[in-house]
Structure 1
Amino acid sequence: MLVTRIGGPTVLVELESWRILIDPTFDPPGRRYAFALGTSSVKTAGPALTPDEIGPVDLVLVSHDHHADNLDARGRSMLSSAGRVLTTASGARRLSLPHASGLRTGESTLLAGVGRADLQVTATPCRHGPPLSRPLVGDVIGFAIRVAGRPDVALWVSGDTVLTPALHRLVQVLTVDVAIVNAGGVQFGLTGPFRYTMTGSDAVRLIGELRPRVAIPAHYDGWSHFRDGPDGMRAAVRDAPADVRDLIRWLPDGVPVEV
């Protein structure tokens, strides 16, 4: 598997001749984006690669379409050129693209690979905020990808989520090769102490429970609403038990890495 960190949540994965792009964000830095209840965030870092530099994409996974830090204007514009787009059921309706399909948590779809292995993609649970916040923050999913004929999960993408009982239960039953785990510890001044994504210490705890072969931190930098941010992520990895720390792989920007 080749994995290329592009920035924020955006990662390119090359698996079994499939080119899979996760949460495309390609806008330049400096713009402020509005979220719910008057909250907002400024993008502070741009992508390491442009869509043209990435080239053709077979599958785009959009954990949720309604927050610009997971799908921005330039990311949205490249969806039409992708082979397939998978997102939430509500997101697929909003995107209204003929090749976009929606999944609810627990649902799966089979992607036929012509001349390559089929992929099964299953939506995994996310809660993008405190209890009862779903009407405000909207639907979010993660993704578990299995290669046809193999029982284990080749790639798991956490999506934007806090730690929840459903997530703890999930990682107890998954056997995962490569996990991409979002963190950042999102908070807004207007909503006080409430968090909307995992902190670095949360992510490390989850990785310790999951025990993938490789864990890749993602979506922990590049935005002003990350209160835990890169310092929190790196401190959590530094302080983790050695057997957990050894699972975690930091990726350079824009360079394909074999994992």
Structure 2
Amino acid sequence: MNQATDAMITHIGGPTTLIEVGGWRLLTDPTFDPPGRTYHFGWGTSSQKLTGPAVSPAELGHIDAVLLTHDHHGDNLDDLGRTLLPEAGTVLTTESGADRLGRPAHGLAPWAATTLSAGGRPTIEVTATPCRHGPPLSRPIVGDVIGFALRWDGQRHGALWISGDTVLHHGTRAVAERLHIGTALLHLGGVRFPITGPLRYTMTGRKAVELCQAIRPHTVIPVHYEGWRHFRQPRAAIERAFATAAADIRRSIRWLDTGVPTSIPC
């Protein structure tokens, strides 16, 4: 295992990553169903899963905590992902999601914080960050979503931030004002649905560059941009957007091969 200042991150697929740091094993947005199924998200929206996970639940091993940005969309928590929740020591999610899931889920409002602590491991402070999973005034339809910023002693570059499913808005811009971000796992893909036309429900590459101009992270890791029909911006489009950015932002992007544990300096 790396030093506690670094993290080992495995992109399992979609929004799902395994973050290992200082003996902790943290899982984001568990999605482990096989491909082929169509999931309905409500209000006439749906999508088909095209790609399965690079790691199966049986191969995953013990999980100390699940960081669940939201529970009500199948591309962030699917059936097999739900079966993992009771086995995790802690599940952190939205307040409304915790009400729906029950124990062991613990709800956090945006900017609320909690800690993960255990003997012999670094204490990790987890701060919930704001998300808006769609255009203005869409929250009653798309539901509550949060991101997570993780801080522990010895970080060299700043917090590890999971953006969650969000567009660029005042809440995500506030992250730059309130937190120093070293590593950003950005949920991208520019989600759109036929029924709502040009409206976007997650960030495009261009909006991600705009966000990075504000937060100036050391490392940017794109996730949740592939594997489903409702994503409209694949890797090539994101790469084109970052190719026009300032030199430090161009250098910051790091693409992870799915299923391969990768050391990330934090």
Matched residue, 1:76: 82
> Could you tell me the TM-score, scaled by structure 1's length?
0.95
Q: Which residue, 180, 184, 206 being the options, matches 1:201?
A: 206
Q: Say if 2:243 is the partner of 1:231.
A: no
**Aligned 1:148-167 pairs, distance under 5 A:** 153-167=158-172
Per mean C-alpha deviation after superposition, the further-off stretch among 234-243 and 216-225 is 234-243
- Equivalent position of 2:255 in the other structure: 250
- The 5 Å alignment of 1:211-222 reads 211-222=216-227
Shift of 1:242: 2.4
Task: Quote how far apart the aligned CAs of 1:229 are.
Answer: 2.8
Superposed, which structure 2 residues align to 1:95-106 within 5 Å? 95-97=101-103, 99-106=104-111
Deviations 1:159-203 (A, max 9, x none): 000000221122233212211011110110101111110011111
Matched position secondary structure for 2:252: coil
Offset of residue 234 of structure 1: 2.3
Deviation at 1:148, TM superposition (A): 5.0
Which letter does structure 2 place at the counterpart of 1:69?
D
1:41 matches 2:47: yes
- Aligned residue in 1 for 2:185: 180
Alignment-mate amino acid for residue 30 of structure 1: G
Question: Where does residue 10 of structure 2 map in the other structure?
Answer: 4
Aligned length: 258
Q: Percent identity?
A: 54
3-state SS of the aligned residue for 1:187?
coil
State the Cα distance separating 1:141 from its structure 2 match. 0.2
SS for the counterpart of 1:71 is: coil
- Contact 1:147–1:153 (Cα < 8 Å) also in 2: no
Check if 1:111 corresponds to 2:121.
no
Q: Give the unaligned 5+ runs of structure 1.
A: none
What amino acid is the match of 1:190?
I
Matched residue type, 2:60:
I
One-letter amino acid of the counterpart of residue 8, structure 1: G
Which residue of structure 2 lines up, in the alignment, with residue 122 of structure 1?
A: 127
Q: Is the 8 A contact 1:120 1:148 kept in 2?
A: no
What is the CA-CA distance between 1:52 and the residue it aligns to?
Answer: 1.6
RMSD: 1.6
2:88 aligned with 1:85: no
Structure 1 position 41, deviation (Å): 0.2
Look up the match of 1:66: 72
Supply the AA of the counterpart residue of 1:177: G
Structure 2 runs not aligned, ≥5 long: 1-6
- Residue of structure 2 in register with 1:171 after alignment: 176
Q: Secondary structure at the match of 1:231?
A: helix
Q: Tell whether the 8 Å contact from 1:178 to 1:214 is kept in structure 2 after alignment.
A: yes
Q: Which residue of 2 aligns with 1:192?
A: 197
- Alignment match, 2:148: 143
TM-score (norm 2): 0.93
CA distance in 1, matches of 2:115, 2:156: 14
Shift of 1:205: 2.0
Question: Which secondary structure state, in structure 1, belongs to the residue aligned with residue 43 of structure 2?
Answer: helix
After superposing the two structures, state which structure 1 stretch, 235-244 or 115-124, moved more: 235-244
1:240 Cα deviation from its structure 2 partner: 2.6
In 2, distance between residues paired with 1:40 and 1:188? Answer: 8
